[in-house]
A and B are shown apart, each in its own frame.
Chain A
Amino acid sequence: MKTIMIKTHEVWLATLMAGFMSKTENKQVLFDFSDILFRHFTWLENELIELGESYNYDRDAIPIKVEKLSDLLHDIEKRLTEIDLQLLSSPDKHLNERITTDIKYMRDVLVHMKDENITAFGMERKFPGIDLTVEATDALTLFLFEETYKEYELIMIYNYLKAHSSDAYLNRIFQILIDESFFHLKSFGDMGAKMGILAVPRIVMKELYQVEDVVQFLKDGINEELAAKEECKKLSEAVAKDSPELEKFFDFINHQENYHISLMEDALKHFEKVNNG
């Protein structure tokens, strides 16, 4: 079961990356499939928790550098087939059936997907239709690497916290934060692909999601969101002269952080209230 969860984690990310690479109608299908695979990942995780098995979010590196989308799609199909086979020996037959029927459909769609040439790894660092200065390009590059990882990290942390909490109020907040981070991850991943610098976020260290002190984690998280607001503001200013469109986008992301801060403050208050009886 543990291996299936790790393999599902890897194929979820591979499919998400394929979505970033695509420039056609394939994109939305791949994003939808990656969302489904993420849900499989959470089901398998819950199964492990119910069985009392220890687990973590370690995984192998995921090679995604391809010239044709079909190369990555073949790899995804192979990964899905492997998961399907491993599910045969897994104890929860209902869960297996749900996942297997999804996999069967996804594999069928992937086989018939139209091929595309991939430009997501060219390192040109040119945003289509926008001429940025060298300084603005460097700032945007660094921001995309930092924040793509950060959003993935947040998804994993909130997901772990949610999986280990039975508090409905907190879980509602964690789920909203997961959804928000997915939106940011998809936005930044898409931008990375357009700039030719798409990369799989690195593996998150255990101690980040296996949170021992949730109160401290939330307090640190609020400070990190405040720092992220500053980064968005700086980036918005750096690109403002060359691209009002990007300026508006980073202002929008900056303002979204206010909502995240407010949710984390709510979670903090609730957690302290519950812990203090």
Chain B
Amino acid sequence: MSMDAQLIEHMMNPKNYGTLEYADTQGIGKNPENGEKVAIYIRVGKDEKESYIDDIRFQAIGCTTTVVAGSMLTEEAKGLNFNGVQNLVEATMKLLDRLPPEDAACSEMVALAIKAAVDTYEKRKSDPDYPTITYKIVNSCVPKDDNTEITENQKEGE
């Protein structure tokens, strides 16, 4: 991770860190290799047409890079409608190949946690007791030749 002032600011004061009282949904991104995980909490807002992220928080069992990725991505996700969130997740997944392995794994974990929270919300519309979805990452902290597409194997708790 090369360091500039913006990055250090995210390390010193991560945005949106913690839990969210009265969250409407929650999602988990997990690294099956080492047990690291990110939990996302979302309060959903609704206007006439669509649902959007009214507020968002995250917590992490992981390294500083994960916290920085969580801080950046949750800031970007705040205020987006669900289509916008989907685009943000996809754009992040496409960027992973260009990142160093440890950064890719951390960013993937946050992106998948956000996706898991939105997917959990959608599932709970028809089944309020639907469990919190967990998606497992495929990127490793060490280089290997996996793709980063979300597959059925990545789902847990469904």
Contacts and interface: CB of A to CB of B under 8 A. Distances in A.
Interface of A: 58, 60-61, 65, 121, 123, 125, 138, 141-142, 145-146, 149, 197-199, 202-203, 205, 207-208
A114 B12 CA distance: 27
A205 B61 contact: yes
B64 A142 contact: yes
Pick from B11, B12, B61, B63 the residue with the most CB of A within 10 Å.
B12
A202 B12 contact: no
Q: What 3 pairs across the A-B complex have the smallest Cβ distances?
A: A199-B12, A145-B64, A145-B11
Given A138-B1, A142-B64, A205-B60, 15 more contacts: A58-B18, A123-B5, A138-B2, A141-B3, A141-B11, A145-B11, A146-B63, A197-B12, A199-B11, A199-B12, A202-B67, A203-B18, A203-B59, A205-B61, A207-B61
B86 interface: no
Chain B: interface secondary structure?
mixed
B39 interface: yes
B150 to A, nearest CB: 24
Contacts of A65: 13
Nearest to B68: A145
A61 B2 CA distance: 27
B8 A141 contact: yes
B19 A58 contact: yes
Contacts of A138: 1-3
B27 interface: no
B14 A202 contact: yes
Contact of B1 (A142, A202, A203): A142
A58 B39 CA distance: 15
Pick from A145, A149, A198 the residue with the most CB of B within 10 Å.
A145
Interface in B1-39: 1-3, 5, 8-9, 11-14, 17-19, 39
A58 B41 CA distance: 15
A142 B39 CA distance: 22
Interface of B: 1-3, 5, 8-9, 11-14, 17-19, 39, 59-61, 63-64, 67
A198 B9 CA distance: 11
Contacts of A203: 17-18, 59
25 contacts: A58-B18, A60-B18, A121-B12, A123-B9, A123-B12, A125-B3, A125-B8, A138-B3, A141-B8, A141-B11, A142-B64, A145-B64, A197-B8, A198-B12, A199-B11, A199-B12, A199-B13, A202-B17, A202-B60, A202-B67, A203-B18, A203-B59, A205-B60, A205-B61, A208-B61
Contacts of B11: 141, 145, 197, 199
A207 B18 CA distance: 14
A184 B114 CA distance: 34
A146 B8 CA distance: 13
Nearest to A58: B19
